[in-house]
Structure 1
C-alpha cells in the first residue's frame, strides 16, 4: 500500500523560507524556555535564601517582583505570540526603584535625582503607550487596545 504524496507546489524560495521560519521559531521557543527556566531557578535560589536567613527586605521583594515580571513576559509571549512594550518598561521602573533603595545611603543627590527622573520618564512612557492604545487601537493587535 503506497501513499501518493503530492509534490510541494511552492517555489524553492518559498520552501526555503518556510524551513527558515520554522527553524527560527524553534530557536525562539528554545530561548524562551531557557529564559523561563533560568528565571525560575533564580527565584528558587532567592526563596531558599529568604528561608535560610529568615529576613526579608524591600529590595529582596522587588527582586522577586522582577523575576515574576520576566516570567509573565515569557508566559504571555508563549500564549499569545506577542509582547506589549509596557512589560519591559515596568521591569525597568522596578529595577531603577530597587537600585534607588539599595544605594540610598551612598548615592549622591545627582544619582538619586537621575534615578527618580528615569522612573518618571518610564512612567510617562507607559501612560503615553496606554493612551495611544486606547485612543488609536491597532487592527494588527487583534485587540481593541483597552484590554491590554
Structure 2
C-alpha cells in the first residue's frame, strides 16, 4: 500500500468516527429534548414512547457499527417500521383510507424484508474472513 492510500484510508476512518460521534451527540440531544417535552407536558403518549424507541435504535445501530465495523441492513429497517407505526398512530384520524392501507402495506413489506434477509443469512451465510477465522481459532485454544 503506498503512502497516499495509507493516509486516504486513515483519513476516511477518522472522518467515519467523527460522524459517528456527531450522530451519537445529536441522538442524545434529541432524547434529552423529548424527555424535557414529556416532563413539560406531564403526560407520556404512545407517540413519545415510539420516538424514544427510534432514538434507542439509532444509538444501538451506532454502537453496533462502532464495535463491529459493520452495519446490519435489518437495523435501519426496524427503525423504518417503528417510524411508520408512529406516523400511522399520530395522523390516522386525518388520513384517508388509501393512505392508511399504503402505510400498512409498506410496514408489512418491510417486515417481510426482515424475514427474508434473516432466512438468507441463515441459509446462505457469508464466508468468514481470514481475520475472523484466526480470532475464532485463538478463542477455541485451551489456556
- TM-score between both structures, scaled by the size of structure 2: 0.88
Matching of residues 94-133 of structure 1 within 5 Å: 94-133=82-121
Match of 1:6 in 2: none
Matched, 1:27 2:6: no
* Bigger RCO (CA 8 Å, 6+ sep): 2
Structure 1 position 140, deviation (Å)? 4.4
Higher helix share: 2
Matched, 1:72 2:60: yes
Aligned residues: 131
Runs of 4+ in 1 over 2 A off after TM superposition: 140-143
Describe the SS at the equivalent of 2:92: coil
Matched, 1:43 2:31: yes
Which one has a bigger Cα radius of gyration? 1
Describe the SS at the equivalent of 1:103: helix
Alignment gaps of 5+ in structure 1: 1-9, 144-148
Query: Among residues 38, 42, 57, which one is paired with 1:54 in the alignment?
Result: 42
